[in-house]
Chains A and B, each alone.
Chain A
Amino acid sequence: MNRLNPLYVGAGLVVLALLLVLKLSSAKEELLLAKAEYKETSLILSELSSLSSAYMSRDEVKKSLQRILSQPSLKSANIEQSIKSNSLLLRSSSMDKEALGSLMGKLLNGAYDIGAFEIKKLSENKASLEVEIKW
C-alpha cells in the first residue's frame, strides 16, 4: 500500500524534463560554439596555408635563382652566391645598371622573402649589390 503520490511522480518528471531541457540547451550552445570554432579554424588554416606558400621554399629559391643568374645579361655581372642555413646571399661588387635592373625586377616581382639588400651607385652605369633572400 506504499504507493507513490502521483504529484511526486509528476514533479519528478517535470524536474527530469527541465534537466534535459537545460542539458539540451547547453549541448546546442556547445554545437554553435563548435561550429564557430570550426569556421574560425578553417579561415585561419586557409590563410596560413596561403601565406605559407606565398614565398618560395629553399629548393624553389635555389632553382629559380639558378635560372635567373644563367641569363646572358647577368652572367657578366659576376654575381656570387653564398648559401646559409636559412638564407642565400647574392653579391656583386660591380654590375651594370641594365643587369641590376633586370635582376632586381625579377627579385621584386617574384615570390622571394627578401631579408636585406644594399645597392650602392659606383658610377653612372655601375653599382654594387648585396641581397639576402630567406626561406
Chain B
Amino acid sequence: MFTKFNTKYKTVFIDPKSPHYEVDDKVDVILSPALYWVKKLTLPMKYVRDVKKLLPSIFEDVLPAGHYSYSAYKSGEDFFVFAYEDKYILDTLTQKGIIPSNIANVYFAQSEFEHADEAIKINDEESMYFKDEILILVPSAFVTPSKTLDLETLIHSQHTIALAQFGHIVDNKSLTKIAAVFVALLLILLTEWFVTAQKIAEVEGLKEALFAQEGAKSTMFENNAILKKQKEIYEKQTKLRESISVMLTSKLAKGEMLKEVNFKNKTFVAEFSSLSAATINAIEKELKTANLGFKSSKQSESWRVEVAL
C-alpha cells in the first residue's frame, strides 16, 4: 500500500502529434488539450458529484457524435468540467507506444499546468497557454517566446481520471443495468435451487419417517424380499382355499366320495372314488373357471387331481 502510494512514475505528455515512446514500465500520462473538451463554470452547487450529473447536458451542444466520459473538479468557487472520448485517448496512447497496462495515472494538462504563467511549447508547431483560466493550444508563432515542456519537476495534482477501455462497447449505466438483471436472475436461480434442495431433504425426511412408522427394514432390498415372500404366502393360501372350495362344493352323486385331501410342498391333492365322467367334467370345469392349474389321473375306481399352488 505504502509502496504504491510513494511510487513515482515517469510522466509522459500525450498529444496526437507526440513522438512514439518506448515504454516498458508504468507511466503517468498528461493529456494534451487536443484530447479533451474543457469548460469553466460557476454553478450554484456545492459538490462535484452534483455537477457530474449535469455534465452530459452541459456538453450536449458542443460535442460531435461519440461515446464520451465526463469529469469535473472544483477550483475555488468554480468548477472545471471535462468531456473526453476514452477510446480515442486509448487509441492515441497505443499509437504512441503506451499500452493500457502501462498507464499508472491519467491527468488533464488543464490541472497539471495550472500554475504556468507562460506559454509552454509542446512540439515544433504548437504551444499551450492559459486564456481565461482555460489551457488552450495555439500555434507557437502566436505566443513567442514559449518555454519548453518540463515534466521532470512537475508536481501532479489529485485530479486523475480512469479511462474506460470498453466504454465504446457499452456504457457504464447500461452495463450496471445488465449486470443487475443478471445478478437478479442468478439470485432467483440460486433461491430456486435452495428451495428445491430443501424440498428434496424434506421428501427424504418423510421417507425415513415412513420407514420408522411402518417398522420396515432399513433397505428397500430387504423390504422387497420380505414383500415377495409375503405375496407368495398370500397367493398360496388364497389358491389353497379356492381349491378346497371347489372340491368341497362339487356335487357328488350317490356312491361317489372324496377319500382324501392333502396339501404338502405347494401341491394340493384330492382323491375321489367312483366318480362318474360327468362329475369329473364338472370338477375340472370349476377348477378351470377358478384359474387353477391342475393335472388329473384315473386309476381303476380312483380319480386323483393335483393343483399346483
Q: Is the CB of A7 within 8 A of B166?
A: yes
Chain B contributes a number of interface residues (CB within 8 A of A) equal to: 57
Q: Is the CB of A48 within 8 A of B199?
A: no
CA gap between A67 and B222 in the complex, in Å: 36
CA gap between A42 and B227 in the complex, in Å: 13
Q: Which residues on the A side are within 8 Å of B265 (C-beta)?
A: 116
Task: Name the 8 nearest CB pairs between A and B, nearest first.
Answer: A51-B230, A118-B262, A20-B189, A1-B103, A13-B182, A45-B214, A27-B196, A34-B203
Q: Which residues on the A side are within 8 Å of B206 (C-beta)?
A: 38
Q: Is the CB of B264 within 8 A of A48?
A: no
Whether a CB of chain B sits under 8 angstroms from the CB of A83 is no
Chain A, residues 9-42, CB within 8 Å of chain B (1/0): the string is: 1100110110011011001101100110110011
Q: Which residues on the B side are within 8 Å of A14 (C-beta)?
A: 182
Q: Which residue of B103, B169, B260, B264 contacts A6 across the interface (Cβ within 8 Å)?
A: B169
Whether a CB of chain A sits under 8 angstroms from the CB of B295 is no
Q: Which residue of B185, B199, B237 contacts A17 across the interface (Cβ within 8 Å)?
A: B185
CA gap between A70 and B135 in the complex, in Å: 125
Q: Which residues on the B side are within 8 Å of A13 (C-beta)?
A: 179, 182-183, 186
Q: Is the CB of B170 within 8 A of A6?
A: yes
Q: Is the CB of B196 within 8 A of A52?
A: no
Which of B30-38, B41-49, B70-78, B157-165 lies at the interface with chain A?
Answer: B157-165
Q: Is the CB of A2 within 8 A of B101?
A: yes
Question: Which parts of B90-141 form the interface with A (CB within 8 Å)?
Answer: 100-104
Q: Is the CB of B166 within 8 A of A24?
A: no
Q: Which residues on the A side are within 8 Å of B182 (C-beta)?
A: 10, 13-14, 17
